[in-house]
Amino acid sequence: MLENGSVTPVVRAPMHAGHQPKVEVQCGRALPAFDTVDRMNSILSALELDTCSKLVDPAENIDLMAAMARVHEPGLIRFIENAWQEVPREHDELDLIFADTFLHPGLKSPGSAAQDNGTEMHFGRYAFDTITGIGPGTWSAARGSVASALTAAELVAGGHQLALALCRPPGHHVTSSVFGGGCYLNNAAITAQWLTDHGSAKVAVIDVDFHHGNGTQAIFYDRADVIYASLHGDPSRSYPFFTGYADETGESIGKGANINVPLPPEANGVTYLDRLGHALEKIDQLSPDIVVVSLGFDTYRDDPAGDAQLETPDYEDIGNAISSLGKPMVALLEGGYWTPSLGANVAGWLTGAANRGK
C-alpha cells in the first residue's frame, strides 16, 4: 500500500506488450508502426532510476466494462473486444487487420436510414482511419490501459496529489462511437467521467499531445462539468486535420469549456510554455477541482509524429506549469514515439509535476 504523498505512484499494465503492431497504413502505404513495445521499455528503464516514484499494478476490483460504457457505445466496445476473432480475414497468418471501407455519410441517399443490420463486425463502421489496426492482443492491451488509468484515478481520489498511468495504447482520438489514431478506448474521457461519477464537481482535461484529442473534445463538447483544453499542431497541417481549430469552443452549456490552442510550425519550448500559460489561466478561471492530463511527448524535437521542437528540459517546465494550478492530477500517457529520449522526457515531466525539481 502506498502512503499518500510519500512517492508518486506510476501504474503500468504488463498486458500492453501483447499489442504489437508492425505497421500502420498512411496514404495507402504500410509504414513502421509508431506505437511499439519499446516505448514502454524506454519509460520503465528511466523510472527505475527515480527513487521518488513507485511502479504499481492496476487494481483488480474496478468494473472496467461499466466505466467504458459510461463513455462509449456498447457496439464499439463489443467490436474492439471481438474483432480479431470475428472480422473475416483472408489469411490466418495476418497479425493485424485494418478497415478499408467506411460508413461515410456521403454513401447514403438523402433521407435514407442507416442500414446497420448485420454490419456490427464490419470494421469501417467503427474505425475512422486506416492507421489503426487490431491484432490478437489489442483488446487485452486496451483494457489494461483503461485499468491503469482508473487505478491512477482511484489513487488520486484516495489522497495522492499526483499519479501517472502508463497507458498503452493511448486513447484521446476515440469518440463515443468511432476509434482511430492508434487509439481504441478513450482513457482520458473514461477517467474524467469516472471522476465526475465519484464526486468531482468539475474536471479539467489538459491535452499536451502533439495531436488534437478529437475524441475527448467530441465526448464533452456540450458539457460544462468537464473542461477540455488542448495544445496541438495546427489542424491545417496536422492529424486529425478536421478538428482542433481555435473557434471550436463548445456548445450549449459547454460553451467556453472547450479550449483549443493550435501551435505554429516548429514551436519551441518558449512558445509552447507561453501558450500553455494562457490556456492554464482560462482553465483556472473555470475552477476545476481535479485535472486529468493527456500526456503526450510527440512534441519532442526528434519525434517522427510531429514538427514541434521541444527539448527534454522543457517537459519538467510543462509539468511544473500544470501543477501550479494546485489541483490533484491524474496523468495518462498518450503519444511520444522517439524512444531514445522518451524515458528521460517522462521522468522530467514527473519531476516538474511533483514539484521536486528546480
Residue type, 296: G
The candidate with the shortest Cα–Cα distance to 314, out of 346, 284, 354, 281, is 346
The candidate with the shortest Cα–Cα distance to 355, out of 317, 320, 314, 313, is 320
Catalytic positions, written as ranges: 173
Phi and psi (nearest 5°) for 226? -130, 115
- What is d(CA 213, CA 180) in angstroms, rounded to the nearest whole number? 11
Residue type, 279: A
In the 3-class helix/strand/coil scheme, how is the chain assigned residue by residue? Answer: CCCCCCCEEEECCHHHHHCCCCEEEECCEEEECCCCHHHHHHHHHHHCCCCCEEEECCCCCCCHHHHHHCCCCHHHHHHHHHHHHHCCCCCCCCCCECCCCCCCHHHCCCCCCCCCCCCCCCHHHCECCCCCCECCCHHHHHHHHHHHHHHHHHHHHCCCCEEEECCCCCCCCCCCCCECCCCCCCHHHHHHHHHHHCCCCCEEEEECCCCCCHHHHHHHCCCCCEEEEEEEECCCCCCCCCCCCCCCCCCHHHCCCEEEEEECCCCCHHHHHHHHHHHHHHHHHCCCCEEEEEECCCCECCCCCCCCCECHHHHHHHHHHHHCCCCCEEEEECCCCCHHHHHHHHHHHHHHHCCCCC
